[in-house]
Structure 1
């Protein structure tokens, strides 16, 4: 299941821009669904790489923060395929990666559902050896 959908991208860019970024036909009048899906898939793989450090992926249900980041990254990847990433989308990409880094290190969370199981910890104990006989031993004086 994809984290973002075409409808999420339409909220970020005008449809004409999405057509231009996704469709390689000169006289295109519709978005290329396969190109959009590939950009979303690429975004989701990046997200899974970071989020997978803290959670079981893929995420289901998809948290709103992840849906937003997926849509943002997909737009970035669509611009990048044309080698024309506007500064605002480059900055958004950097900001989204910074959030993903914080998620991967546990600095930012988004609920308890889907947390990875932690392996049982080990308890290490150390003590000095018991001395029963001789000077200073437990049995001295008996």
Structure 2
């Protein structure tokens, strides 16, 4: 399931800017949908990398916090396609904040609040087994 739609990205980036960021033809009037799809795919895969150890993927429902995170990451990727211009501070800051959020989700500090999901055990989990107890409280009471 996709974490964000084309409309979600269109709400975050004005049409003219989206056209300039995604289309290599300076005279283009419409965004290049293939490039936009690549930016969303890359952002979703990055988000999945953080979520993989904590949640079972693919997610049945997409929380808005995750949708917004993918939009910010895709927007940053689109801006990076134009190295001749400086990245706006808002784009750089939103990416940095989004990565911190994804780290917090990965570490269990922030949850996605999914009702159907459950935390997946961390890799390398250690299980311990012990023998049955031979001496209980009654046995030790006789030695007093």
TM-score, normalisation: structure 2 = 0.80
Where does residue 117 of structure 2 map in the other structure? 114
Partners of 1:42 and 1:118 in 2: CA distance: 26
Where does residue 88 of structure 1 map in the other structure? 90
| Structure 1 unaligned spans of 5+ | 131-142
Partners of 2:54 and 2:6 in 1: CA distance: 27
Q: 1:128 to 1:55 in 2, by over 3 A?
A: closer
Q: 1:117 to 1:46 in 2, by over 3 A?
A: closer
Partners of 2:121 and 2:50 in 1: CA distance: 17
Where does residue 74 of structure 1 map in the other structure? 74
Partners of 2:120 and 2:49 in 1: CA distance: 18
1:27 and 2:27 equivalent?
yes
Where does residue 140 of structure 1 map in the other structure? none
What RMSD in Å do the two structures reach over aligned CA positions?
2.5
Question: 1:3·1:66 contact (CA, 8 Å) conserved in 2?
Answer: yes
| Structure 2 unaligned spans of 5+ | 136-144
Q: 1:89 to 1:128 in 2, by over 3 A?
A: same
TM-score, normalisation: structure 1 = 0.81
Paired residue total: 131
Q: 1:122 to 1:11 in 2, by over 3 A?
A: same
Moved more, 31-40 or 56-65: 56-65
Q: 1:52 to 1:82 in 2, by over 3 A?
A: same
- Helix, strand or coil for the counterpart of 1:125? coil
Where does residue 102 of structure 1 map in the other structure? 104
